[in-house]
Amino acid sequence: MKHGSLEVIESGFLTTYQDLGRRMHRALGLPRGGAMDARTLTLLNLLLRNERGATGIEFCQRGPTLKFKDEAVVSVGGDLCPTVDGEKRRAWSRMMVKAGQVLKCGSLRSGSWGYLCIQGGFSVEDFYGSTSIHPHLELGGGTGKPLVEGDELFFQPSENALSSLSLSPDLWGQNDDHTYRCLSGPQMDWFSASTHEQFYSTPYKISVTSSRVGYRLEGAPLSRKKSFQKKELTSEGVSVGTVQITNEGQPIILAADAQSIGGYPKLAQVISTDLERLVQRPAGSEVRFQQVTHEEALQRRQEQEREYTQLEMVLSLGEEY
């Protein structure tokens, strides 16, 4: 089937292709990549009855304006007021855009990362298991660089007609107590009980230097035990959500485009369901952490999985009537 296309009229900010990231190839030194807020991307894809990881577009604060050459059904999320040919539409809804019409995503009223998904997903050449663009490496899907004015984007049009439907914005879970659950990290014994207490009871502020690579936090220094002051950690694997502590005692939370190997001690690990919320907080916001057990972390993950599966089922049933 011929691809549909659309043109970028205005690029927005840090607008990149994102899917759910790559699961392999860390041995090449490639980052996991994928949407910072995988939950929003997944919900929008489910709404459009796409594969959960169908390639969408992510942007930071300011979304793109796109002129559609071919008809398509799209949806955008989070807190946006999109328009089609100037007419107001709703975020979290299936929006039919006709050939020749212009979709303006607009700017997020809250949150840091916004998403646009298209029925059928964007057609982008896979780069070692993902279509994700890693802006700091200039590698990944398409040119490896964020989208710019004039770019032509392609998508696979679908034969399946979709009824008009929208998700409640509450589904995303805007009610955020600003506390994020963590598991203990492998180097937790480098830090004293009082340092642990400090990490799990005092607020930290998200620094403006935060990015897709990592979120730097500022706050009361987290110092090591005396016997570990001069210790150097031999580089070893890290993970998205890993909380590293710098030599100045400041936390860095590794995000989607983080490197695969690190040499800073790892105090904790933010659980994936909570990291997706944390990264939506703007620079200057305060975050707090709460320690949980592995059982609790797994339960939370399984809960989210059930939620996705149920939504999938409800939406597929909806189409049969």
In angstroms, what CA-CA distances link 232 with 61, 241, 262, 263?
Answer: 38, 21, 11, 8
Asked if 232 touches another protein (CB under 8 A), the answer is yes
How far apart CA 128 and CA 22 sit, in angstroms, is: 7
Q: What are phi and psi of 107, to 5 degrees?
A: -105, 150
Asked if 282 touches another protein (CB under 8 A), the answer is no
Asked if 73 touches another protein (CB under 8 A), the answer is no
Asked if 301 touches another protein (CB under 8 A), the answer is yes
Among 286, 305, 312, 319, binds another protein (CB under 8 A): 305
Q: 2: which DSSP letter? A: P
For 314, the token pair is: 């409800």
How many CB atoms within 10 Å of residue 200? 14
Binding segment (CB under 8 A) for another protein, from list 37-45, 55-63, 112-120, 294-302: 294-302
CA-wise closest residue to 217 among 287, 166, 293: 287
How far apart CA 252 and CA 271 sit, in angstroms, is: 15
By beta-carbon proximity to another protein, the closer residue of 27 and 161 is: 27
Binding segment (CB under 8 A) for another protein, from list 60-68, 156-164, 178-186, 198-206: 178-186
Asked if 297 touches another protein (CB under 8 A), the answer is yes
Q: How far is the CB of 25 from another protein (least distance, A)?
A: 7
Among 220, 261, 283, 314, binds another protein (CB under 8 A): 261
Asked if 135 touches another protein (CB under 8 A), the answer is no
Identity of residue 58: E
By beta-carbon proximity to another protein, the closer residue of 202 and 302 is: 302
Q: Label residue 34 left, alpha or beta by phi (over 0 means left) and psi (-120 to 50 means alpha).
A: left
How far apart CA 218 and CA 268 sit, in angstroms, is: 16
Which stretches of the chain bind another protein, using CB under 8 A? 23-30, 127, 137, 139, 183, 185-186, 232, 234-239, 241-242, 259-261, 266, 269-272, 294, 297-298, 301-302, 305
